[in-house]
């Protein structure tokens, strides 16, 4: 089920409910609100095909205005969610520990952005790195948090290490990983079978 929080009709057709809308909806794959075009058939049911709109100037103007109007709505929804998550984190961990986790997450995001090929990372790989910043204890806990097997979590840790996104803090098994910082030392670390440590 789609989580649509705002919509604007930009084109209608037929005698009934055929229409194209610009919507603010939750993209569950990216875990955020985004703006999209959506089509509904004349019976009012969501159309499972790519939406098309007429190329006339009036329709194009409607589409442009709807996107410009709804983009801030999507951004605000994402900010509200982020603030709710922070509030929940503070309630769960206490203020001081929550600030440590948030600081690690900001450092992680900056580190990922600094890697030239960061856009090549898959969603799961990014989530593995975020889990490290959030203090996940081991690959089993990471597997549980990301709903993947412990073996898959270990595989992602190894692949990220081989690609240079993670460093190994020590050479003894179970390995302890840290997010690699191209400019400075690493912060958040996780083991693939032991306790987490923060350097």
Per-residue model confidence as pLDDT tens digits over 61-100 = 999 999 999 999 999 988 888 888 778 877 877 877 777 7
The segment with the largest mean pLDDT, out of 44-58, 103-117, 166-180, is: 44-58
Share of the chain above pLDDT 70, in %: 75
pTM, 2 dp: 0.45
What pLDDT was estimated at residue 146?
A: 83
SS (H, E, C) 160-180: HHHCCCEEECCCCCCCEEEEC
Instruction: Write out the two tokens for 61.
Output: 């103007």
Compute how many other C-beta atoms are within 10 angstroms of the C-beta atom of residue 9.
12
CA distance 172 to 149: 23
What pLDDT was estimated at residue 2?
A: 60
Report pLDDT digits (tens) over 122-180. 777 777 877 777 767 567 777 888 888 888 888 888 888 888 877 777 777 777 777 77
Average pLDDT over residues 45-54: 82
Could you give all domains of the chain from N- to C-terminal order, each with its CATH number?
Answer: 4-80 (no CATH), 95-191 (1.10.10.10)
> Up-side HSE of residue 96: CA atoms within 13 Å toward CB?
0
89 touches 103 (CB < 8 A): no
Nearest CA to 41 among 19, 70, 15, 9? Answer: 19
Instruction: Write down the residue that tokens 């209608």 correspond to.
Output: 12
Nearest CA to 20 among 28, 29, 11? Answer: 11
What pLDDT was estimated at residue 25?
A: 92
What pLDDT was estimated at residue 189?
A: 46
Does pLDDT of 195 surpass 60? no
Average pLDDT along the chain: 76
What pLDDT was estimated at residue 108?
A: 56
What pLDDT was estimated at residue 126?
A: 78
CA distance 112 to 159: 15
């Amino acid at each position: 089920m789609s989580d649509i929080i705002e919509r604007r009709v930009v084109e209608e057709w037929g005698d009934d409910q055929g229409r194209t809308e610009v919507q603010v909806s939750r993209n569950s794959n990216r875990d955020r609100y985004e703006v999209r075009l959506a089509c509904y058939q004349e019976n009012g049911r969501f159309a499972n095909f790519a939406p098309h709109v007429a190329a006339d100037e009036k329709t194009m103007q409607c589409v442009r205005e709807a996107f410009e109007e709804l983009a801030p709505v999507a951004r605000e929804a994402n900010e509200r969610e982020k603030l709710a998550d922070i509030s929940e984190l503070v309630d769960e961990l206490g203020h001081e520990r929550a600030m440590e986790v948030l600081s690690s997450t900001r450092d992680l995001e900056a580190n990922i952005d600094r890697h030239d090929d960061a856009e090549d990372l898959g969603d799961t790989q990014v989530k593995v790195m975020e889990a490290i910043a959030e203090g996940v204890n081991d690959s089993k806990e990471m597997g549980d948090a990301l709903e993947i097997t412990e073996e898959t979590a270990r595989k992602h840790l190894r692949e990220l290490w081989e690609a240079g996104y993670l460093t190994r803090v020590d050479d003894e098994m179970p390995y302890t990983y840290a997010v690699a910082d191209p400019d400075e030392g690493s912060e958040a670390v996780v083991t693939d079978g032991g306790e987490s440590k923060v350097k």
